[in-house]
Amino acid sequence: MSSTGSPVTPLVAMVDSARLGGPHGLAEAMQPASALEAARLALLRDLQLAFRKRGQLLQPLAFFVMVALLFPLAVSPEPARLRELAPAVLWIGALLASLLALEFLFRDDAYDGTLEQYALSGQSLTSLMFAKTLAHWLLTGVPLALMAPVVAMSLGVVAAPALAGIVLAVGVGTVPLSLIGSIGAALTLGIKRSGTLLSLLTLPLSLPALIFGARATQLAIHGAPLLAPLELLGALAVLGITLAPIAAAAAVRISLE
């Protein structure tokens, strides 16, 4: 086989090999996928997979409701008391449910070799990690945020603006939770029975989100403006979006070594 005799870049080499023939010919031009396209596919794939296993999707939600049920049983069913406890119940429940769901983020991909293919795809692993974490939030955080007002109602919160505020607070607050969780999940890949360790790693880092989120929920229940803690939550979310996928990608590469 004659060579071109000049140094070729990988991209040119790919085009060259098409020109040299083979059953596929020139009809299919090799257009590398853009970063956005790759991220979009990664997102869609995780969403499609989750819908194929709908049962698994419901587990964190069921857990959330279960945890919420424990508090009235363990404390008292008095509405005033419950309303006081509501921010704590909602947030601790959401936090624990989110932790539970983190298992699904990378575990399967690591076992079947698809995570490895992401690392070898030539695309930015950071943007692929962001896409996966976004999928995780859409499948966990958003349902939790929508379920939260229902749980809140069972805890004596009835005012519509309060419930709306709760949806907002939990919705925004679960963003940093998913992002921080993605780092923990990537770091503990391949460790057997890593549930407790994952919680130990993720909980301290999630404290700020818990603090601001619970405060926002509390203000919402009392009908007070919750802009201040909400802004802080938003800041955490933005910081997380910028930095967490980078750390998660680095952690994934470390796990593949």
Partner 1 sequence: MAWTWFHRLASPPHVYALAARLTPWFAWPAALLIAAGLWGGLVLAPPDYQQGDGFRILYVHAPSAWMSLMVYTTMAIAAAVGLIWRMKVAHAVAASCAPIGASFTFAALVTGALWGEPMWGTYWEWDPRMTSELVLLFLYLGYMGLRAGIEDTQRADRASALLAVVGVVNVPIIHYSVTWWNSLHQAPSVMRIGKPSMPAAMLAPLLLMLLGFTLLFVALLLVRLRGEVLARERAASWIREVVSG
Partner 2 sequence: MPVEQLEVENLHLWRGERHVLRGLRFALARGACLEVCGANGSGKTTLLRTLCGLIYPEEGRVLWNGEDVQRDLRAFHAALAYLGHEPPLKADLTARENLHYWIGVRRRLGEEELSRALARVGASSWCGRRVRTLSAGQRRRVALAGLALLHVPLWLLDEPTTNLDGEGRELVGTLLSEQLGRGGMVIAAVHQGLPASVSPVTRLELAA
CB 221 within 8 A of CB 83: yes
Q: Which is nearer to partner 1, 135 or 232 (CB)?
A: 232
Cα Rg of the chain, angstroms: 23
E-assigned strand segments in 57-163: none
Q: Distances from the Cα of 178 to the Cαs of 7, 12, 18, 31, 147, in angstroms? A: 46, 40, 43, 33, 17
Residues 22-61 that bind partner 1 (CB under 8 A): none
Distance in angstroms (rounded) separating the CA atoms of residues 153 and 58: 20
Which partner in partner 2, partner 1, none is near 187 (CB below 5 to 8 A by kind)?
A: partner 1
Rounded Cα distance, 165 and 227, in Å:
10
Stretch that binds partner 1, among 105-113, 114-122, 145-153, 196-204 (CB under 8 A): 196-204
Binding site for partner 1 (CB under 8 A): 183, 187-188, 190-191, 194, 197, 200-201, 203-205, 207-208, 211-212, 215, 232, 236, 239, 243, 247, 250-251, 254-255, 257
Q: Which residues bind to partner 2, rule: CB under 8 A?
A: 1, 3-11, 13-14, 16-18, 20-24, 28, 30-33, 37-38, 41-42, 44-45, 48-49, 52-53, 108, 112-114, 116-124, 128, 253, 256-257
